[in-house]
Amino acid sequence: MPTDDLASVRATHRITQPTRLRVGLGRMRDYARHPDPLAEASNWVALIIGTHLPFWPLYVWWSAGSEALPSALLTVALAPMFLVIPLLSRRSSLLGRIATLLAGIANTVMTVWILGTNSGTELFLGPCAALAAFSFRQTERWLIVSFTMLPLVVWFLLQRHAPVPLHHYRQPAAQQIFMLNALSVSVLIAAFGWLQANTYRQMEKTSL
């Protein structure tokens, strides 16, 4: 291939890759967009979790090694449930927000069953309670109370009636998974804070 043609192909490749990324992000923004800022924030939470779950077995494998497989592959199972929540929000803003919270709790319980209680997976019930605190309006206070209490009830039940895990990890591996979960919870709560601030800005604009 002539040098000029090769340079042209490389230049086109450099332009195309960022363009595809922008197109992909634009489609995701369109998919998450909703007239209700609270529903849109909930959609973003669902998409963040849903697109992150397919990578979770790799993180667990990196932390625990080969003993994490094949049971860790099941952590992907509920990803489609999160990814369809924006479609549900289009039918009902309230239903979409409730579905995000219930999906988060269900995913936490299922992952506790997969990884065991010594993995620290139940820490994700904290972000579920935090999400409930800003997913509803003042006129929906009974939902705020219900869905901030529900993760606490689930945590109590897991302490008393924990499911038998699919695999018993050795202590070093379980400790690595615990640290991974603790870091993920911190990142998730930080993301919630950013989404909450953005939601308030949007609500202020619509009220002007």
Query: How crowded is the C-beta side of 59, counted as CA atoms within 13 Å?
Result: 18
Is-contact 56 75, C-beta < 8 A?
yes
pLDDT in tens, 80-90: 999 999 999 99
pLDDT in tens, 35-57: 998 999 999 999 999 999 999 99
60's CB contacts (< 8 A; 6+ apart) are 68, 72, 75, 115, 177, 180
Specify the range with the lowest mean pLDDT, choosing from 17-21, 125-129, 130-134, 138-142. 17-21
Is-contact 195 41, C-beta < 8 A?
yes
Token pair listed for 25: 């992000």
pLDDT above 80 (res 134): yes
Average pLDDT over the chain reads 85
pLDDT in tens, 4-18: 444 454 554 554 556
Token pair listed for 52: 């992150």
pLDDT in tens, 95-114: 999 999 999 999 999 999 99
Can you state the angle between helices 171-207 and 37-52, rounded to 10 degrees?
A: 160
Q: In the prediction, which pLDDT does 85 show?
A: 96
Q: Could you please report the per-residue DSSP string of 58-124?
A: HHHHHHHGGGGTTGGGGGGTTHHHHHTHHHHHHH-HHHHHHHHHHHHHHHHHHHHHHH-GGGTGGGG
- Core vs surface per residue 153-182: b (16+ CB within 10 A) or e: ebbeebeeeeeebeeebeeebbbbbbebbe
Instruction: Using pLDDT thresholds of 50, 70 and 90, give the confidence band for residue 125.
Output: very high
pLDDT above 60 (res 2): no
**Where do the domains of the chain lie?**
1-32, 35-207
Question: Nearest 5 degrees, angle CA 60-CA 117-CA 172?
Answer: 50
Q: In the prediction, which pLDDT does 203 show?
A: 66
pLDDT above 90 (res 94): yes
Q: In the prediction, which pLDDT does 84 show?
A: 96
Q: Name the percent of the chain lying above pLDDT 70.
A: 86
